[in-house]
Structure 1
Amino acid sequence: MKSLVMEKKGELSLRDFPDIARAEEHLGPRDVRIRLHTVGICGSDVHYYVDGRLGPFVVTDPMILGHEASGTVIETGAEVTTLAVGDRVCMEPGIPDPNSRATRMGMYNVDPAVRFWATPPVHGILRPTCVHPEAFTFKLPETVSFAEAAMVEPLAVGVHAATKARIRPGDIAVVLGAGPIGLVTALAALAGGCARVYVTDIAPKKLEIAESLSPAITAVNVAQDDIARRVLADTDGWGCDIVFEATGSPRAAAGMFAPLAPGGCVVMIGGQAEPVAYDAGAAMVREARVENIFRYAHVFPRCVAMIASGAIDVKPLITRTFDFDDSVRAFEIAASAPAGDVKMQIELPQ
């Protein structure tokens, strides 16, 4: 099974990976076998490739990358009832222990035993086929393309963040960071009821893409303008209702309370490679509520429905597509962080 394999830090190869083929030879009664079509390149994939680790997760053995995916069902287990051969699907990549305490409480995303694609030691899905549980595989409406379906996974992060923010109609939000997660969070915030969303970054092209998504999005280049000053000026000194921290940058996160109104909410999304400064005094005088998210839970069907209805359009975020045979080059380009790219995807041969 030809796969994109991270051999070690800084080294990728396209090669046969017989171990995964053997591991998925047999189909469980409630599993489906999927032929992969489109796989997105996530920032976590790039972190593993460049740094060999992401937070506490360290790659010690060769690992197949990729977890943002769509494809077609080619085989079903004996007890599968909601999917059939030929169905176009997207897949939620984290499989929890159904008997864990976290799962039974509805927080299956924080189950310590969750097996998440392309998180060591679990292999990802930049390969021809995979086996996945029916319960975490979602049929696509005809109006949703494979490329859009591969965006459901990152969109799920934004929708989970918007849900944790408890948005009220007419809220004003700030999203720190115009990367893929920042932009899907901005879209989710608008879909959730925000009247205006400010999106910050230092890359003019990313900010241009952000403003193109909706007239309700205001881009702010923080290399030239202070986001707190801008928001306070626009709100008669009151501030915004919600700040989404989606940079993963300790420097950016250090000022996350500055634009926030009294009683507002900060949602921590960006993965922090190192501890961030937390201004407890700034949080206290605002009586700020702080939420943290880890991936997502219970939102994939919502994301599919919003893309299908047109409530959220993720197509402008897909800025480059590569053939599977060009996967190594695709990751090399992604690692260089081109200013004009948001989401890069890889299409597998059909």
Structure 2
Amino acid sequence: MKSLVLEKKDDITLRDFPAIDREEEVLGSRDIRIKMHTVGICGSDVHYYTHGRIGPFVVKEPMILGHEASGTVIETGSEVTTLSVGDRVCMEPGVPDPNSKATRLGMYNVDPAVRFWATPPVHGILRPTCVHPEAFTFKLPDNVSFAEAAMVEPLAVGVHAATKAKIKPGDIALVIGAGPIGLVTALSALAGGCARVYVADLAEKKLEIAASLSPAITPINVKSQDITEIVKRDTDGWGVDVVFEATGSPKAAAGVFEPLCPGGCVVMIGGQPDPISYDAGAAMIREARVENIFRYAHVFPRCVAMLSSGAIDVKPLITRTFAFEDSVRAFDIAASAPPADVKLQIELPQ
């Protein structure tokens, strides 16, 4: 059973992975066996490929990549009641310890014992089949495609961020970063009630995609435009209600409060390979609220429902699709960060 394996930093192969073959034979009474259909390439997958680590998570032995996935149920455990063979599904990739304090308090995403696909030492999902708990597997409506369903995982980050921001109808937001997470955050902010969302980035092609998503999105090219100057001009000097930092850049974080209004909220989304700093004094004089998010919790069903209803459309973000046999090339392209690409996906043989 071939899988896409990160052997070590800068080394990916498509090969048989016997250990997974053995593990996949075990189906618990409340588990689902799923035939994979579509898997998205995430920035974290690429970062493990190019750097071999993200913060404390270090690739020490071969690891299968991928965690943004959709597929079809091919077998169910004896106690499964909500899913049947043939159901089309997407999967939440993090499985917490149900008995941990974080999980019992409803914060299962920050459970230290959570097992998250493609986070060392847990294998990812770029392989033909997987076994996953029923509780973290979600049936798709007929009008949600496999490609859209594989976007639920990144969309969940944006929806979780918008939820933490406590957006009110008519708010104005700024998203710093027009990558996949920045763009799904912009869409989530609009779905949450924002009247206008600024999206700032260096890449003109990504900003063009951002602007095409909604007339309520205003792009800002930070190469030639000043974020704070534009925001203050358009808001009579007041500022935006919410700033979403979706780059992980120290430079972006340093100025994150400048375009924020008094009493506004900053949501830190971008992953940082190293510690970053921001201006606590600027936060203080605004009485700014700062939220930090780590993945997401309790939002997958909301995301599926919004895709089905048309409240959020992620199709324009899927800019390229590759066959499974071209997975290594797909990762090399993703690692080169083409300015016109947002989300690259891989389709497995059916």
CA distance in 2, matches of 1:279, 1:165: 19
SS of structure 2 residue aligned to 1:224? coil
Look up the match of 1:24: 24
The separation in 2 between residues aligned to 1:209 and 1:129, in whole angstroms, is 33
Asked if the contact 1:250–1:274 (Cα under 8 Å) also holds between the matched residues in 2, the reply is no
Deviations 1:204-224, CA, capped at 9 Å, x for gaps: 000000000000000000010
Cα distance, 1:23 vs structure 2: 1.2
Match of 2:177 in 1: 177
Deviation (angstroms), 1:71: 0.1
CA contact (8 A) 1:178 1:210 kept: yes
Partner of 2:267: 267
Q: What do residues 104-138 of structure 1 show as CA deviations (whole Å, max 9, x unaligned)?
A: 00000000000000000000000000000000000
SS of structure 1 residue aligned to 2:47: helix
Q: Give 1:116's aligned amino acid.
A: F
Distance 2:128 2:23 in 1: 14
SS in 1 for 2:327: helix
SS of alignment partner, residue 193 of structure 1: coil
In structure 2, what is the Cα distance between the partners aligned to 1:251 and 1:10? 27
Q: SS at the partner of 2:218?
A: strand
| Whole-angstrom CA distance in 1 between matches of 2:101 and 2:217 | 40
> What residue in structure 1 maps to residue 153 of structure 2?
153
Query: Where in structure 1 are there 5+ consecutive unaligned residues?
Result: none
2:51 & 2:112 partners in 1: Cα distance?
Answer: 23
Deviations 1:61-88 (A, max 9, x none): 0000000000000000000000000000
Q: Equivalent residues in 2 for 1:165-314 (5 A)?
A: 165-314=165-314
User: What does the per-residue CA deviation read over 1:167-194, in whole Å, with 9 as the maximum and x for residues that have no partner?
Assistant: 0000000000000000000000000000
What CA distance in whole angstroms lies between the structure 2 residues aligned with 1:216 and 1:169?
13
The CA deviation at 1:341 is 0.2
Does structure 2 conserve the Cα–Cα contact (< 8 Å) formed by 1:9 and 1:52?
yes
Instruction: Tell me the distance in 2 between the aligned counterparts of 1:263 and 1:2.
Output: 53
Scaled by the length of structure 2, the TM-score of the pair is 1.00
Distance 1:63 1:166 in 2: 37
Equivalent-residue separation in structure 2 for 1:23 and 1:204 (angstroms) = 45
Give the counterpart letter for 2:164 in structure 1. Answer: K
Alignment partners' CA distance in 1, 2:61 and 2:145: 34
Deviation at 1:146, TM superposition (A): 0.1
Alignment partner of 1:109 is 2:98: no
Aligned partner of 1:97 in structure 2 is 97
Alpha-carbon contact 1:240-1:259 (below 8 Å) kept: yes
Equivalent position of 1:37 in the other structure: 37
Partner amino acid, structure 1, of 2:202: I
- CA deviations on 1:299-326 (whole Å, 9 max, x unpaired) are 0000000000000000000000000000
Query: Counterparts of 1:4 and 1:12 in 2: how far apart (Å)?
Result: 7
Kept in 2: contact 1:9–1:50 (CA 8 A)? yes
The alpha-carbon deviation at position 275 of structure 1 amounts to 1.7
Secondary structure at the aligned position of 1:200 is classed as: strand
Letter matched to residue 55 of structure 2: G
List, as ranges, runs of 4+ consecutive aligned residues in structure 1 with deviation greater than 6 Å. Answer: none
Q: How far off its partner does 1:35 sit?
A: 0.2
| Contact kept? 1:322, 1:346, Cα under 8 Å | yes
How far apart, CA to CA, are the structure 2 residues paired with 1:112 and 1:168?
32
Q: Distance in 2 between matches of 1:252 and 1:279?
A: 11
C-alpha deviation, 1:332, in angstroms: 0.3
- TM superposition shift of 1:248: 1.1
Match of 1:7? Answer: 7
**Cα distance in 2, alignment partners of residues 97 and 301 from structure 1:** 20
User: Which amino acid in the other structure matches residue 299 of structure 1?
Assistant: V
The whole-number CA distance in structure 2 between the counterparts of 1:54 and 1:96 is: 20
3-state SS of paired residue (1:199): strand
Equivalent in the alignment of 1:341: 341
| Structure 2 residue ranges without an equivalent (≥5) | none
Superposed displacement of residue 349, structure 1: 0.2
Q: In 2, are the aligned partners of 1:239 and 1:261 still within 8 Å (CA)?
A: yes
**Alignment partners' CA distance in 1, 2:147 and 2:205:** 22
Letter of the structure 1 residue corresponding to residue 91 of structure 2: M
CA distance in 2, matches of 1:205, 1:270: 20
2:66 equivalent in structure 1: 66
Distance in 2 between the 1:147 and 1:105 partners?
A: 33
